[in-house]
Every structure is written in structure tokens, then in C-alpha cells.
Structure 1
Amino acid sequence: MDANTLINLNVHKQLVAKSINMPAGYLDDYHQHPWHQVIFPVSGLLQSDIGDLSMVVPHNALLFIPAGTSHKSVAVTQTEFVALYLNPTAKAPFCRTLKSCLVTPFFKELVLLLLKTADELDNRAISNLLRVLNDQIKSAANYEIPLLKPTDRRILAIFEQLIEQPATQLTLVKWAQQVGASERTLSRLFAKEFNQSFSAWRQHLRLVLSLELLTTPRSIQDIALSLGFASDAAYIQAFKALFLSTPHKYRNSVLQAKTT
């Protein structure tokens, strides 16, 4: 059942919730909801376009989308996400501003609790939990990871191959030969779409892909080499520059909720 049908069947409720699975590459094109929406990936990576903003949402982040806001999402990898739909007339005074924020262990457990109990708790209990959710959204740190997936078909072909084999070391000259464009054209396209060079974009892509790998028992060195970094030191340095945290700290603090 699609979200808006679910909302229309439950207009008397404060909250409806569902879990959604998307295969890699699945596009949920532009749409909007009459209720506020929370998008939280349990696993995988989503890229969402909202107005002039395009951002990646990994499984340690969350999107709050105000009611009536047009948006689309595409699954960068196989993705499972929780969608909470919040009635604007509910007692919790949710804001009307888009926010991408960092999810703490407590925040994550709250979202999962609302998913599990949306149809079980009475109105008073739901109201109390929604007030806590509202407080968490307001106080959470902003967490925005820029656009990754291109729109041009030639660099989209590069993107799709790197998703499958991120350690691929082809130069831009070699990629140009594969996708039927000149090196100069590809350089111009990367600058236009991402305001980055090809090498900077590729590193950005590898770093974002590493977020999911850090939820596994694999060593930091193994993750670094599997993504094409020359060493674990190079990976750690690049990760810290983008995410303001080391991979080890990310694994042991942001994701500790997986073991609680």
C-alpha cells in the first residue's frame, strides 16, 4: 500500500509507519505527502532530491521532510528504510523546515520503537513519544552529505560500475574510452554536476560506501583496500576530512546501538 493511501485510511491517527525495501537503483520519483515524513535507512544508502538540495542519507542519518514538500529518492545500494508519517495536527508541534540530521543510538531506538508500536499504543503514549521525537529532531546535529549519483548517462555508467567495484583504478582517460566521451568532456561534466574533479568525486563515493562496511566485523585495513585506498592510513585521513571522525570512532560510537 502506498504511503498516501495509508495516510488517507488513517486520518484520525497521529502516526503511521512502514518499512520499505528498495533494490539498488530503484527510483521513487517526485511526490509529496500531506503529512510530515521521517526517512531513516536501517541499511544501505539513499540519495534524496528536495528542491535545490541533493543529499545522501546513510544509515546513521535521518531526513525530516515537512508536509507538502516535493521530493524524490533513489537507492544507491540495496536499501531498507523506515518511513514515519506524522499528522500535522498531532499534539507534537513539528517544525516546517527540512532537516538532515545525525542519528544517535537513542534517536535510532526511538524511531524503531515508533515503527514497531505505531498500531499498538494509545493516543497518549504516541503523543508522548512524538514529543520526544520532535525534541530529538530539533536538537540533532545537522548532517549533510552532498550529491553522489550523476544525471548524465556517461558518468552514470561510471557511477554504476564503481558501486559494484569501488576499487577500480581506471583513469579518466580509460573511463572516457569506455563510455564514449573525451577526457575533457568528462572533466567538464564532473565539474558541472558535482563541482569536483573525477578523483575527488570517486574518493567521496568510496568514503560513503565505507559507512555500511563499518557495520561489519571487517578490519579497517581490509575495508580501505577493498575500496581502492592505497593504505588504511590514507583511508582514515580521507574519512576524517569528510566525516570529522575516524572510522574507528564512527564504528564504536555512532553505531553502538546495533549491540544494545
Structure 2
Amino acid sequence: MTEGLDGYRADDGVIDAGGHPPHVHTFHEFLYVPMGHIVVSAQGREFELGASAALWIPAGVLHSARFGDDAVIAVEAFEAEDFTLPYAEVTTVGVSDGQRKLLLGRLRSTRGVEGDREVFARLCATHPDSLPLPQPTSTNAAMVARELSRTPGDARTATEWAAELYTSSTSLRRAFLAETGLAFSEWRTRLRLNHSLCLLEQGQLVSAVAAQVGFVSTNGYILAFRRYFGCTPGAYVRQVLGRPAGRETPRGRERVVTAAR
């Protein structure tokens, strides 16, 4: 096993036209295949990736890959110390048309694309049961949305955000309502609940999830969760994930998204 300066370790293997031998990264890796397809093998499973699905590989997970002849692969690395990934296992995430355009724009640019971190935050938070969450487009509202997507537990109110942006809270609230169809408080609640789904799937305690995503009390989180999803977080974990709430398991729910070729 060798290790390079970029945090890559492999069994003396190299990437070739047909694939990549088993290897491990010290960073989180995001894989997207805008053209063609590849198959990634990890944790006893195979993940087929194409234009409609991307893959998060947490740091420290042994994996290999087979490349299709026409595959174009976009790879992003995120330092484990700086980027909190809400997945303990290799996880596929859907890629919408809008996200695909932004990812392709980032791939073409050597300087990155405005809002690209928001793209990854949204992809990171994507979950099959997520609530619809339209994104604001105006400068101030979009900046607040990006920051909250990175740190959903941020407790700043619309008034506090507006003061930092040298605008009025009325203007900021109007922007959220006009551009997303949701009041600021409603938008933020949905964001927090969406983030909480991945944390529940990891097996974290309901109280810990509530605090991490920004709810003042566990009871407040439970009430909000029931309002939007029709059941309590504990019932959701038992019914949907098929395991006791708040208990760590060696494997999460099996879910493989197969991308269209």
C-alpha cells in the first residue's frame, strides 16, 4: 500500500482507460459521470453511475471502478476535516437537470462557478423522501440559502441575516416568498427536515439530530417532522428504514440508484 501527497492510497495500482484498482482516499470523493457510465464497487455492492446519478464516497472506504468506453468522469475531493458528509457509507444521489447544468459549468471552468458549493450542499442533502425546496435566485436570498444549506443549524433570524447584508428584513422575506413560494421560516424548516433524514438514516439519536439541524427542542423537531412527514422521527426510522431509532447499525438501508445510460 502506497500513499501520495494528495491523500491517495492504492495497492500500487494506477488509473487506466478501463478502470481503477481497489484504493482508499483520505478525503471524501464526489463522482459524477455526465457522459457514458461507470460502475463503482464498494462495501460489497456495485453502483452504476450515469448522467442522472452521482456518488459520494466517504473518506477511508475501499473502492474500485470500471469505466465504460465513452465515460467522461468529473471528480471532486473534499477534505474530511473541513467538510461534514452526512453519509457513513457510499451513497448515490440523484442529479436534477438544473444541478447537471451547474456541474457541467463547473467542469468547464478553471475558476469554479458561482454557487457551486450550493450545488454540492444540495446534492449532499438529497434524499428520496426530501421535501420540495425551491431555491431563491436574487443575490441576498440566494446567499442566505447557500449558507443555510451548508449549516442548517445556523440560528440567525431573517432580521439578523438582513442586517449583515445591509438590506431590510422585509425585502429578504419578500424575496424568499416571491422566488420560492415559501416564507423564510417555512423554507428553513423544510431545509432542516431534509438534512435530518440523512442523519436519522445514519442511526443518530433523535435528540442529537434535532440539535444538529437547528431545532431549539427535540419536541419541536418531532412536531415539525410529524407535520410534514405524517409520523414521528422514531416511527419513520422503524417503518421506513426497518431498524430501531437511535441505534447504530453496520449497514444502512440498501439503496442503489441506477442511472440511465
Q: TM-score, normalised by structure 2?
A: 0.49
Larger helix proportion, structure 1 or 2?
A: 1
Q: TM-score, normalised by structure 1?
A: 0.49
